[in-house]
Structure 1
Amino acid sequence: MPENISQTILIIGAGTWGCSIALELARRGHAGITVLDGHPFPSAISAGNDLNKIAEAANEPSSSDSDSDHFWNTIHSLSMHQWKHDPVFSSFYHETGFIMAAVGDDAYQECLDCANSEQSPLVHLNTEADFKSTMPEGVLQSSFPGWRGFWKRKGAGWVFAIGALKAMHDEASRLGVRFLIGDAKGRITEVLYTADKSAVTGARTADGVDHIANQTILAAGASSCQLLDFKQQLRPTAWTLAHLPLSAEEAHSYRNLPVLYGVDRGFFIEPDVEKHEMKICDEHPGYINPVVDPSTGQTNSVPFARQQIPLAAEQRMRRLLRETMPQLADRPFTFARLCWDADTADRIFLIDKHPDIKNIVVAVGGSGHGFMTSPAIGGLVADIVEEKNGVEERVKNMMRWRPEISVGRDLWDTQGRYGAGGKVMDLREVRDWTRIGE
């Protein structure tokens, strides 16, 4: 018979959102919190296990905003307040500025739409000289063929992702949260239910232990839909990143750069201070791994960890470098991996009590915004657990359980993303992978 361990709150997933939720609940005085994750911390498939992420302040929320604008302005405002003022988060935010640009006309229209909605002052960039004026001499050595965009000098930059993830974990642990991680004691083999399936009672792990809880919170990122039927509300999607090594002298001269984000090219962020590596990402609508579920006949994308990337992704990164920093375009990368997230159909988070099953809250659907907004996620989920009205009903309603908008969902929907020929790509069709570091 499985061993039974009773606790008040069980959190499934020790990634970005799981750690944020555990931290906030512990800060509010909840005891008996256990976090389960089948991967060693920090997980190799956690999107937050990364050098850095883009962070950007939003406009002040207004009742006259569209629903989407109001949602993002509210969530970003909550998050940015903590990135700037919360002692767990504030040392990891770097306000270096943000450049948004594009080459293709459709992608450039996306830039213009963002620029037109901005309340912060912007510098428009249309020429080679304009782009080179944004960074120290010698960093940008390209002629920027076809590039157009704008420069947001304040209210944006980047956050040190892995540092913040570890800080959330460490502070939650100090406050009494118990993390059970690793293949045997943290890997969930099944979610546990009452006999009539009307309520969740906890989860069973690979070591045969039943973790019984009054409240279960599912925050396992792209892996969440392997544990619960989300009615096609989630599409696990992978992006690609690599690390470019610099010498100590180069790293010093590349410090405090604004983030440069090409909507149809990719982005880079200044190098880290320890290893002197710069993260490079190509931009595209994502990779998926379609697998047919034999029990339902539905096709779902199933995530997997891999510390290499498709060769085509590396080639796109090299193009980004040739068009911005050609002096680095042929330098070997030191690291690469797939980075998974879960897209909702409208790219709005899914944070809600399950409407049909008691005692479970879902906190999923980062949709590419998960880490930037992670300081706010803990509070949003804690309010649901405590049945508090922490955010207005309009925002709560947008995050509700909403399978009706996913009926007939197209797995190949680009969801407004650009690059790589403007299509979602199939990992099953990738034949050529990088061999970085081998």
Structure 2
Amino acid sequence: MYTAPKPNSKIIIVGAGCFGLSTAYALSKDKAKEYDIWVFDRGESIPISDAASTDISKAVRMDYGNNTLYMHLAVEAIDAWKQWNAERAEKKLVPVYHNTGMLIFSANGQYAEYEKDNMRSIREAGFGDYIEELNADQLKERYPYLTDTVDNGYDIAYANKVGGWCNSSESIKHLYGECIQNGVKFVLGNEAGRFEKLQVDGRHVRGIITADKKEHTADRVIVAAGSWTPSVIDMHRQAIATGQYVIHFSLSKEDQERMATFPVWSADVSNTGFYGFPCNENGILKIAKHSTGYLNPSSVLNQKISVPRTQSTNPNDTIPKSALAEARAFLKKFLPFTDALDVVYSRVCWYSDSIDGDFIIAPHPDYDHLIVATGDSGHAMKFLPVIGDKIRDIVEDTDSQYKQAWAWKKKEAPKGFYDRPLLVKEGDQDIRMATMDELRAYNKD
């Protein structure tokens, strides 16, 4: 049976991404407990180069369909993002959160069920004044640069004035600084910081062993290794590492000015999976797809699982050839002007997809004194300022709705959960990474 750590306990956190840093900060804020907190990561510096949280932007939205648990948590997080901005402004630092609003498209004049659920949940929670429904004519009037988009069938949308995006890498740096200020200790690097295995005595976890063969004892261990979690701890097939793709375009000054009011958007997302962002200060337009994702099978922990393949170890990787074709076909209708633009950067971003899309933050059933914090399922970063508080409550065995929602469920995977396309396949010219030539524009003037 899991018990909460006592005051002055030493707590090791494996992973310095979204869950790991937020947890370290939350635990370090409790001066009465005086925990001795250590964070280990194989990366050489923070932000960790190939973590999902290391990016130019992540969506911050409260639109969660019928899942009001995450909607209310997002509202709490948005308030915390605003507080971070205020604290940074006092130090003359740039904001990390940008409340551009959200523009949620459906197609062919009819809202999809997901969009209907979004609006109903938001209104029933008392936030109805955030929402404005827009028809085709209203969309064209407000966003004239989306005239082709509307004419191509994305002709109905609602605008949510609350939400937007965070500069995720800068946010991680911000939180890292807060952790350092609170006395959190970090061990980084491919040898000293790389988790190799648990130090165990039967069921009792006594600490971790790193790649340099050193033993690090602790009263509690929290594994928050993101999409690498199933490859370092047996997750009993409750989560899988999936690759989701991202592409960037570099816009001209003219296009940046033309699209200056572009908010964060999704395009009939329950059917297409596509969403994107306004240009950042460098003129980069980022577009991504949330879907079943790609797998990179490997044999680890005596089982066949999917293991992240990133540009840290494969620097010439782009995105799968099939993903590029899919993105170009979508954009030909949604943002047709991008046909004439090169893809200037592309990346496979790795998620830890849980079976039901819920986070998995709970004691591990095989061990005492081990907590796992994983299953981000591609929607965790928006909660960065507050998710650590919820994880801390679980570590301290405090009952809450989050503890129940994110408990270890021992679920069977739904049909098709592990039946996803391969990232690459040696010798197969159709299942491979796109070449740099293929990333160039179809129709350059």
TM-score bracket, shorter-length normalisation: 0.7 to 0.9
What is the match of residue 131 of structure 1? 139
> C-alpha displacement at 1:436, in angstroms?
4.0
Partner Cα distance (1:329, 1:310) in 2: 18
Change in Cα spacing, 1:284 to 1:107, as seen in structure 2 (3 Å) is farther
Change in Cα spacing, 1:432 to 1:125, as seen in structure 2 (3 Å) is farther
What is the match of residue 115 of structure 1? 119
Query: Is the CA contact (8 Å cut-off) linking 2:242 and 2:293 kept in structure 1?
Result: yes
SS of equivalent residue, structure 2 residue 381 = coil
Query: Is the CA contact (8 Å cut-off) linking 1:115 and 1:150 kept in structure 2?
Result: no
Amino acid at match of 1:69: N
Query: Is the CA contact (8 Å cut-off) linking 2:197 and 2:209 kept in structure 1?
Result: yes
> C-alpha displacement at 1:20, in angstroms?
0.9
Q: Deviations over 1:259-315 (max 9, x none)?
A: 121113412211111x2211111343211223455835xx42222213410122222
Query: Is the CA contact (8 Å cut-off) linking 2:78 and 2:163 kept in structure 1?
Result: no
Q: Deviations over 1:360-413 (max 9, x none)?
A: 111111112111122221101212233334xx3x3321211111x13xx24733
Query: Is the CA contact (8 Å cut-off) linking 1:20 and 1:378 kept in structure 2?
Result: yes
Match of 1:32 among 25, 32, 36: 36
Change in Cα spacing, 1:42 to 1:294, as seen in structure 2 (3 Å) is closer
What is the match of residue 63 of structure 1? none
> C-alpha displacement at 1:252, in angstroms?
4.3
What is the match of residue 269 of structure 1? 277
> C-alpha displacement at 1:149, in angstroms?
3.9
Deviates more, 1:87-96 or 1:300-309: 87-96
Match of 1:45 among 50, 55, 78: 50
Amino acid at match of 1:109: E
SS of equivalent residue, structure 2 residue 220 = strand
SS of equivalent residue, structure 2 residue 382 = coil
Give the fraction of aligned pairs with identical amino acids, expressed as a percent: 25
Partner Cα distance (2:184, 2:28) in 1: 7
> C-alpha displacement at 1:246, in angstroms?
1.9
SS of equivalent residue, structure 2 residue 340 = coil
What is the match of residue 19 of structure 2? 17
TM-score normalised over the length of structure 1: 0.83
Query: Is the CA contact (8 Å cut-off) linking 2:246 and 2:348 kept in structure 1?
Result: yes
Match of 1:426 among 415, 418, 422: 422
Gapped regions of structure 1 (runs ≥ 5) = 1-5, 60-65, 415-422
Q: Are 1:327 and 2:337 an aligned pair?
A: yes
SS of equivalent residue, structure 1 residue 434 = coil
Change in Cα spacing, 1:36 to 1:433, as seen in structure 2 (3 Å) is same
Partner Cα distance (1:411, 1:223) in 2: 23
Q: Are 1:100 and 2:98 an aligned pair?
A: no
> C-alpha displacement at 1:88, in angstroms?
6.3
Match of 1:363 among 364, 373, 385: 373
Partner Cα distance (1:268, 1:354) in 2: 35
What is the match of residue 245 of structure 1? 250
Deviates more, 1:210-219 or 1:287-296: 287-296
SS of equivalent residue, structure 1 residue 361 = strand
Q: Are 1:211 and 2:216 an aligned pair?
A: yes
> C-alpha displacement at 1:35, in angstroms?
1.0
> C-alpha displacement at 1:245, in angstroms?
0.8
1:15-414 to structure 2, matched below 5 A, reads: 15-29=17-31, 30-40=34-44, 41-57=46-62, 69-86=67-84, 91-103=95-107, 108-119=112-123, 120-121=128-129, 122-127=131-136, 129-135=137-143, 137-138=144-145, 141-194=148-201, 196=202, 198-262=203-267, 263=269, 264-265=271-272, 266-273=274-281, 275-291=282-298, 295-296=302-303, 299-306=304-311, 307-389=317-399, 392=400, 394-403=401-410, 405-406=411-412, 409-410=413-414, 412-413=416-417
Question: How many residues were matched structurally?
Answer: 405
Q: Deviations over 1:96-139 (max 9, x none)?
A: 12122244899933223323333134333443x3433343x436
> C-alpha displacement at 1:251, in angstroms?
3.0
Query: Is the CA contact (8 Å cut-off) linking 1:310 and 1:432 kept in structure 2?
Result: yes
Partner Cα distance (2:106, 2:420) in 1: 19
Partner Cα distance (1:48, 1:107) in 2: 31
Change in Cα spacing, 1:413 to 1:147, as seen in structure 2 (3 Å) is farther
Amino acid at match of 2:195: I
Partner Cα distance (1:52, 1:282) in 2: 14
Change in Cα spacing, 1:146 to 1:140, as seen in structure 2 (3 Å) is closer
Partner Cα distance (1:78, 1:308) in 2: 36
**C-alpha RMSD of the superposition:** 2.9
Change in Cα spacing, 1:424 to 1:106, as seen in structure 2 (3 Å) is farther
Change in Cα spacing, 1:427 to 1:410, as seen in structure 2 (3 Å) is farther
> C-alpha displacement at 1:140, in angstroms?
5.2
Change in Cα spacing, 1:395 to 1:387, as seen in structure 2 (3 Å) is closer
> C-alpha displacement at 1:31, in angstroms?
4.4
Query: Is the CA contact (8 Å cut-off) linking 1:284 and 1:424 kept in structure 2?
Result: no
Change in Cα spacing, 1:364 to 1:245, as seen in structure 2 (3 Å) is same
Query: Is the CA contact (8 Å cut-off) linking 1:7 and 1:34 kept in structure 2?
Result: no
Partner Cα distance (1:125, 1:201) in 2: 57
Query: Is the CA contact (8 Å cut-off) linking 1:223 and 1:303 kept in structure 2?
Result: yes
Partner Cα distance (2:284, 2:207) in 1: 41
